[in-house]
Amino acid sequence: MKVEFQIHSNDKKKPWIVLINGLFASLELWEPCIDALKPHFQILRYNCQGQGLIPEVKHKYLLDDHVKDLHDLLSELHIEKAHLLGISNGGRIALKFASLFPEACHTVIASDTYDKLTTSMSLKIESWLKAQDSGDQELRFDISTPWIFGDTFLTSKKDQLTEIKELACKQNKEVVAGLIRGALEGEVDLKSIETPVLFLVGEEDVLTPIYLHQRMHQKTKNSKISVIKGGHASLYEFPENIDMHIIPFLKDQSNQLPEHSL
């Protein structure tokens, strides 16, 4: 499976960080975060299956398929080890990848994510699928928006939300349905992860709330948790969270990783 990707690299001695999109996102949404990461990393961002301009139409885009695609992409680019930064479904991908390929991960930052569905999460996401199956992309976006974006973002950045909606409504109907179906399946065995993990959760995240991240933190041996500004799309909503929370975590971890420095 070929995926679209972009690389930002001005120093091959710097460690790699891989940015993994949320469910309905594309690699372009990471743009406001790039400047904060470039001084410290070589950056790889890519579109998962079902994302980007011309995705292959599939009935389901499953977690295991996303993990395999990431493994294949890193192998293709000869990236032996990287930090993984994933948001929402991208956080799931990063966590599952770390559980299977610990030798390829320096650290994992999993933002506004989940290891397995709760009953309430299933009902929320199934409502998106029902809206999507009605044939109206705009309806699906409007129904999912209050679960994805925090109140502060919705109040203060309405123009940005309009741009996101315009992009979302251009997506292929069957592709979006396949993404949603894939999000309803798959689990991550957190207890098997040895890689250092930072769980981030938006203080206004109502889809995967703080208590769920606290549970994941308790299951994961070498993990930390931080509550940050924003909703379920916290890093997209407020890119300053990169400098405030992610860079300090990675600087702390770099002291424990002799094979590279940050």
- Report the mean per-residue pLDDT for the chain: 93
pLDDT in tens, 223-250: 999 999 999 999 999 999 999 999 999 9
d(CA 133, CA 108): 34
| CA-based max dimension of the chain | 53
Grade residue 261 by pLDDT with cuts at 50, 70 and 90.
very low
pLDDT of res. 3: 83
Predicted confidence (pLDDT) at residue 154 exceeds the cutoff of 70: yes
pLDDT of res. 77: 97
- The answer to whether 182 and 62 have CB atoms below 8 angstroms apart is yes
pLDDT in tens, 28-86: 999 999 999 999 999 999 999 999 877 788 999 999 999 999 999 999 999 999 999 99
Predicted confidence (pLDDT) at residue 221 exceeds the cutoff of 90: yes
d(CA 149, CA 230): 7
Grade residue 257 by pLDDT with cuts at 50, 70 and 90.
very low
pLDDT in tens, 73-131: 999 999 999 999 999 999 999 999 999 999 999 999 999 999 999 999 999 999 999 99
Domains and CATH numbers, the chain: 5-254 (3.40.50.1820)
Pairing of strands 82-87, 16-20: parallel
